[in-house]
Amino acid sequence: MNVLPAHWPSDHPPVNFGKVGVLLVNLGTPDGTDYKSMRRYLEEFLTDKRVIEWSRWFWYPILYGIVLNRRPQKVGKAYEEIWNKDLDESYLRTYTRSQGEKLAVALKDLPNVHVDWAMRYGQPAIQAKMNEMQKAGCEKILVYPLYPHYAAATTATVNDEAFKALLKMRWQPALRTVPQYADDPVYIEALANSINQHLATLDWEPELVITSYHGIPKSYFMKGDPYHCQCHKTTRLLREHLGWEKEKLMVTFQSRFGPEEWLQPYTDKTVEKLAQEGVKRIAIMNPGFVSDCLETLEEIAGEAGEDFLHNGGEKFTHIPCLNDSDDGMRVIENVVRRELQGWA
């Protein structure tokens, strides 16, 4: 809509209005696996104060002197192993785009709602998408950080970036952000379905299933981050939904970075210990990741699986993330419809 009231001067620029935007935002991913693309991505990621909270005086010499010289090659090789060769991009981007497209179709009954997607690091950038939405007439925007559990290093940095985009706008849209949904019954049911459906494809049964969440430094938790408790809540509700014993569904934390202590128990150490103690068959799922990505495909489906088998385990399987499956889309649509109440 861009019809101007009769009393406005004829040379007033046309202004669109009357729409509601929904912006799905995931973490981000490099544009390619080469050194330059990897370095650009890691630099943007690792200079974010919400991610690395150390003083800049201490961190920048390490980052620019060591990390950004070595890590791009090492991590670039890991990305190569899990790259979506058909589309020449990472699966995180493929699934996030598909989630945006499928959500737009699912919300067709709300004609004023405009759906798009962005990344916190890399492209498409949050600020560019927010500008586009505002120009297209979105007077209200719902920002959806694609994380079921709140962490300052993920949810808050997306929200910061979205609010920053308003700084230069004359007519700012109203902004809502999606809160954590660790205990959402639709989410818990989708996770339970994904376990049951995946296990039904196997000719063996795991002795236990590990729910492995991305870790955060323990110091962030001690400063008040609610992430750890929300992860435990998801697993507890999932266990209750499945009717399983406590020992059959474990919580672990993966993807440590740097020398600090992170949330425990660590996924890699747990997998090795279980195998050494005689456990022969396990499955791992990643309830905190809305889409499969480096951390699930390479670190868990690849490395953790190999570690388990090398230490005496016999059967290993990785349960895929909800991605853009029907159940995954039901979770996203349900969250969006709830958070749009009174707006659309």
Ligand X SMILES: C=CC1=C(C)c2cc3[nH]c(cc4nc(cc5[nH]c(cc1n2)c(C)c5CCC(=O)O)C(CCC(=O)O)=C4C)c(C)c3C=C
Residue numbers of the site for Fe ion (CB under 5 A)?
Answer: 255, 295, 299
Q: Name which position in 25, 27, 282, 336 contacts ligand X (CB under 6 A).
A: 27
Q: State the number of CA atoms in the 13 A half-sphere of 56 facing the CB.
A: 4
Identify which of residues 52 and 142 has a Cβ nearer to ligand X in the complex.
Answer: 52
* 214 labeled binding residue: yes
Q: Which does 268 bind (CB under 5 to 8 A by kind): ligand X, Fe ion, none?
A: none
Q: Rounded to whole angstroms, how far apart are CA atoms 245 and 168?
A: 54
The answer on whether 132 is annotated among ligand-binding residues is no
Q: Which helix (H) or strand (E) holds 30?
A: none
Distance in angstroms (rounded) separating the CA atoms of residues 35 and 105? 37
Neighbours of 267 (CB within 10 A): 27
Question: In whole angstroms, how close is the CB of 290 to ligand X at the nearest point?
Answer: 8
Identified binder of ligand X from the candidate list 60, 244, 257, 343, rule CB under 6 A: 257
Dist. CA 234–CA 211, nearest whole Å:
9
Contact 313, 168 (CB under 8 A): no
At its nearest, how many Å lie between Fe ion and the CB of residue 89?
19
Instruction: Build a one-symbol-per-residue string for 92-121: x at contacts with ligand X by CB under 6 A, - elsewhere.
Output: x-----------------------------
- Closest to ligand X by CB, 140 or 214: 214
Longest dimension (CA), the chain: 80
Answer yes or no whether residue 225 interacts with ligand X by CB under 6 A: no
Closest to Fe ion by CB, 30 vs 173, is 30
Non-local (6+) Cβ contacts of 279 within 8 A are 207, 208, 313
Annotated binding site for Fe(2+): 214, 295
Annotated binding site: 214, 295
